[in-house]
Amino acid sequence: MSFAEAQFVSLKEAVSLVEDGSVVAVTGAMSAPPMSLVRELIRQGKRNLHVVVSPIGGINVDMLIGAGCVAKAEFPQISLGEFGLAPNFRRAAEEGTIETLEHT
């Protein structure tokens, strides 16, 4: 399929294709994170996502965790950089409400 033949869909429609329990890869810690995607996943109430973070997760991943969208997170680091620890991630990890796989 050429670029000219490619079909584009709205973000809302694209996220509707993400099933609960899907693996979702995100990037962009505090620099250009895909926040529109994150907000749409939250709006549509996606659950039990397996989030794979590369290289660092930031507010994007922390919001997904805080909204109850994440069951499992794979990451080298999740933080808010100079703003400190990601509070939703820390709480969920300490309480064991998400499965964590750290890759450092």
> Which pLDDT score, from 0 to 100, does residue 82 have?
87
Question: Residue 28, Cα to own-chain centre: how many angstroms?
Answer: 10
pLDDT tens per residue, the chain (104 residues)?
566 666 889 999 999 999 999 999 998 766 778 899 999 999 999 999 999 998 888 999 999 999 999 999 999 999 998 888 899 999 999 999 999 999 87
Element (H, E) at 91: helix 87-95
The reported pLDDT for the residue numbered 28 is: 72
Q: What is the pTM for the complete model shown?
A: 0.89
